[in-house]
Amino acid sequence: MSEYKNRPFLARLGCALQGLAHGVRSERSLRVQLLALAAALAALAILRPGALWCALVLLSAAVVLAAELFNTAIERLADELHPGQHPGIRIAKDCAAAGVLVAVLGALAVGLALLAHLLMK
């Protein structure tokens, strides 16, 4: 069994925070998405749309960030295991990127639905 299995919670939390920090340092798209989250938080503070809308926006943002981090993990792992070009690796990376795109489109749909809701009031 790996020495990393069944580690204490704080050790696992430290690893997760290191992964987040690496993503922020190395991925421009993650930094852009964090800026979008900051803008969304500011908009929620100003518009005060209600708890359910706030939860939907925050959940959507979390899904986008998680998808981007999974995409980064897949890209790094693939590059480490197979540094050269390979059609299978390209497909895996493209699918991971498509997952981010789907998450972003879902978050955009939530944002547009919120705007429509506020405009109809």
Catalytic residue among 3, 27, 68, 75: 68
Bigger pLDDT: 106 vs 84? 106
Q: Rounded to two decimals, what is the model's pTM?
A: 0.91
Report the candidate in 96, 97, 93 with the shortest Cα–Cα distance to residue 79. 93
pLDDT over 80 (residue 69) = yes
Third-level CATH fold of 28-120: Helix Hairpins (1.10.287)
Assigned token pair, 58: 């925050």
| Per-residue confidence band for 1, with pLDDT thresholds at 50, 70 and 90 | low
The answer to whether the beta carbons of residues 94 and 71 sit under 8 Å apart is no
Average pLDDT estimate for 62-74: 98
Assigned token pair, 33: 């998405």
Question: What share of the chain has pLDDT > 70, as a percent?
Answer: 99
What are the sequence ranges of the domains in the chain? 28-120
SS3 per-residue string spanning 33-93: HHHHHHHHHHHHHHHCCCHHHHHHHHHHHHHHHHHHHHHHHHHHHHHHHCCCCCHHHHHHH
Assigned token pair, 89: 């690796």
Residue 80 a catalytic site member: no
- What pLDDT does 22 receive? 97
Chain centre distance of CA 34:
9
